[in-house]
Chains A and B, each alone.
Chain A
Amino acid sequence: MSRPEHQAPPEIFYNDIEAKKYSSNSRMIEIQARMTERALELLALPPGKIGYLLDIGCGSGLSGQVLSEQSHVWLGLDISPAMLDVALEKEVDGDLLLSDMGEGLYFRPGIFDGAVSISALQWLCNADKKNHVPAQRLKVFFQALYNSLARGARAIFQFYPENPDQMELITTMAMKCGFSGGLVIDYPNSAKAKKYFLCLFAGVPHGDEFQLPRGLSGEEGLGSDEEGEDNGGEKEAKFLTKSRKDRERRKEGRRAIKNRDWVLAKKDRQRKQGKDVRPDSQYSARSRRRF
Chain B
Amino acid sequence: ILFRKQQQLQFVQSQKEKMRLLTHNMLMCNKGCMDNNFPLQLVVDKVEERESEFIPDQIRALVPKLDWGAAKEAEKAVEKQEFSMVAELPEMPPAKPLDDEEFLKKLHFLLFNVHVLEGKLVCKNCGREFPIKNGIPNMLLNEQESQN
Residues of A within 8 A of B (CB): 49-52, 71, 73, 75, 77, 79, 84, 88-89, 91, 93, 95-100, 103-104, 106-108, 111, 113, 129, 131
A97-B132 Cα distance, complex, nearest whole Å: 9
The closest CB in chain A to the CB of B19 belongs to A95
* Shortest Cβ distance from residue B87 to the other chain A in the assembled complex, whole angstroms: 18
- List residues of chain B with CB within 8 A of the CB of A108: 26-28, 38, 67
Most buried by B among A52, A71, A97, A131: A97
Q: Is the CB of A71 within 8 A of B58?
A: yes
Q: Is the CB of A88 within 8 A of B26?
A: no
Q: A89-B16, A96-B136 are in contact. Are A104 and B32 (CB under 8 A)?
A: yes
A210-B61 Cα distance, complex, nearest whole Å: 24
Contact of B27 among A89, A91, A98, A107 (CB under 8 A): A107
Residues 87-144 (chain B) with a chain A CB within 8 angstroms: 134-141, 143
Q: Is the CB of B65 within 8 A of A52?
A: yes
* Shortest Cβ distance from residue A291 to the other chain B in the assembled complex, whole angstroms: 18
The closest CB in chain B to the CB of A106 belongs to B30
* Shortest Cβ distance from residue B13 to the other chain A in the assembled complex, whole angstroms: 10
Q: Is the CB of B15 within 8 A of A91?
A: yes
Q: Is the CB of A99 within 8 A of B135?
A: no
- List residues of chain A with CB within 8 A of the CB of B18: 88, 95-96
The closest CB in chain A to the CB of B147 belongs to A131
- List residues of chain A with CB within 8 A of the CB of B28: 106-108
Q: A51-B61, A88-B18, A91-B15 are in contact. Are A103 and B146 (CB under 8 A)?
A: yes
Is B57 located at the chain interface by the 8 A CB criterion? yes
The closest CB in chain B to the CB of A150 belongs to B65
- List residues of chain A with CB within 8 A of the CB of B143: 129, 131
* Shortest Cβ distance from residue A22 to the other chain B in the assembled complex, whole angstroms: 16
Knowing that A50-B58, A73-B58 touch, tell me 17 more A-B residue pairs with CB under 8 angstroms: A49-B61, A52-B61, A71-B55, A71-B57, A89-B16, A91-B16, A95-B18, A95-B23, A97-B136, A98-B138, A98-B139, A103-B140, A103-B146, A104-B30, A104-B32, A131-B146, A131-B147
A71-B136 Cα distance, complex, nearest whole Å: 22
Most buried by A among B19, B26, B136: B136
Q: A71-B57, A88-B17, A111-B26 are in contact. Are A103 and B65 (CB under 8 A)?
A: no
A56-B127 Cα distance, complex, nearest whole Å: 27
B: interface residue count bin: 35 or more
The closest CB in chain A to the CB of B121 belongs to A106
Contact of B139 among A50, A52, A71, A97 (CB under 8 A): A97
- List residues of chain A with CB within 8 A of the CB of B140: 79, 98-100, 103
- List residues of chain B with CB within 8 A of the CB of A73: 22, 58, 61-62
A88-B117 Cα distance, complex, nearest whole Å: 12
Q: Is the CB of B136 within 8 A of A98?
A: yes
Q: A111-B65, A131-B146 are in contact. Are A98 and B137 (CB under 8 A)?
A: yes
* Shortest Cβ distance from residue B148 to the other chain A in the assembled complex, whole angstroms: 10
The closest CB in chain A to the CB of B52 belongs to A93
Q: Is the CB of B61 within 8 A of A88?
A: no
Residues 56-84 (chain B) with a chain A CB within 8 angstroms: 57-58, 60-62, 65, 67
Q: Is the CB of A103 within 8 A of B141?
A: yes
- List residues of chain A with CB within 8 A of the CB of B139: 77, 97-99, 106
* Shortest Cβ distance from residue A39 to the other chain B in the assembled complex, whole angstroms: 19
The closest CB in chain B to the CB of A130 belongs to B143
Is B29 located at the chain interface by the 8 A CB criterion? yes
Q: List 18 A-B contacts (CB under 8 A).
A: A49-B61, A50-B55, A50-B58, A51-B61, A71-B58, A73-B61, A75-B26, A88-B136, A95-B20, A96-B135, A98-B136, A99-B30, A100-B140, A103-B30, A107-B27, A108-B67, A129-B143, A131-B146
Contact of A50 among B27, B38, B61, B141 (CB under 8 A): B61
